[in-house]
Structures are given as structure tokens and as C-alpha cells.
Amino acid sequence: MQQIGAFPFLFKKEKMHIMIITSTSGKSWILPKGHPEDDLNKPQVAALETYEEAGINGLIFDRKLRKEFKREEGGRLVIYPLLIKTILDNWPEESKRQRKLVSIKEALELVTKKEHLNAIKYFSSTSLSDSLYQAAKDKD
């Protein structure tokens, strides 16, 4: 089964930070994700899940930057980088989840799901992080 998610990021003083959320059980920190929806394309699903689960509005980056990861439970997780533009005070799943804006180092310490860790490592790698930083500056 395929899931679609986002890597919601921003830069503070030129350092990448990401928004992580708790799973609905509250037992683990993850990236926002969900299932395909018939009336939405994959980038739209990633943006919608990020809004619903983390209370973030943002800008999905180029489809070429998306990356697929093998899920521990089977299937694939497709992740799109999403530049955080607005962090909302209220959002649809605020009663079900916590959210936390963290450094990459802290995210790697808190997130435990393998495919989510792989996504964080991939999108925060030096070459891709530099590209995302430049693209984020261009969107300001």
C-alpha cells in the first residue's frame, strides 16, 4: 500500500528545521502522511495531510524532488518537500496530535520509524539541503 507524505521544513538562521507530529497513538514522532485520494494528485495529498495533521500551510516543491521510501509494514511512502509558510494556531487534528518544530539533529533523535528517518536523512543531506535552501530563498 502506498502512502503520501510531506517533509515540512523551513530555515532559521540558515539551519534547516522540520515539523514533526505524533502518531494518533501519541507513542511516536513521524512526518505527516496519508493515503491517496481519488480527487487529488500526490502533491495535493501531501499538502492536505500536512494541513490536517500538523496545521501547516506551505508550498510543495518540484515533483522531481519527491522521493519514495520502502515502508517497514510493506508498500511505499512517497515524500514531497514542503516549505512551511504558515503555522496555524488551530487545525483539524490538533486534539489528536502534538507537533514540534525541531532541528534535523533533534528530529533524528525523536523519530523512530525507519522510512521517516530515511526521509529526514535524505532531505537534509548537504546537497539537497543546499538546493532546498536556495529554492526557499527564491520563494520569499
Q: Where are the domains of the chain?
A: 2-139
Distance, in Å, from the CA atom of 115 to the CA atom of 71, rounded to the nearest integer, reads 6
Q: Which residues of 35-45 are buried (b: 16+ CB within 10 A; e: fewer)?
A: eeeeeeebbeb
User: Residue 73's pLDDT is what?
Assistant: 87
Rg (CA), the chain: 14
pTM above 0.75, yes or no: yes
Distance, in Å, from the CA atom of 138 to the CA atom of 140, rounded to the nearest integer, reads 6
User: Residue 138's pLDDT is what?
Assistant: 79
CATH T-level assignment (fold) for domain 2-139: Nucleoside Triphosphate Pyrophosphohydrolase (3.90.79)
Percent of the chain with pLDDT over 70: 98
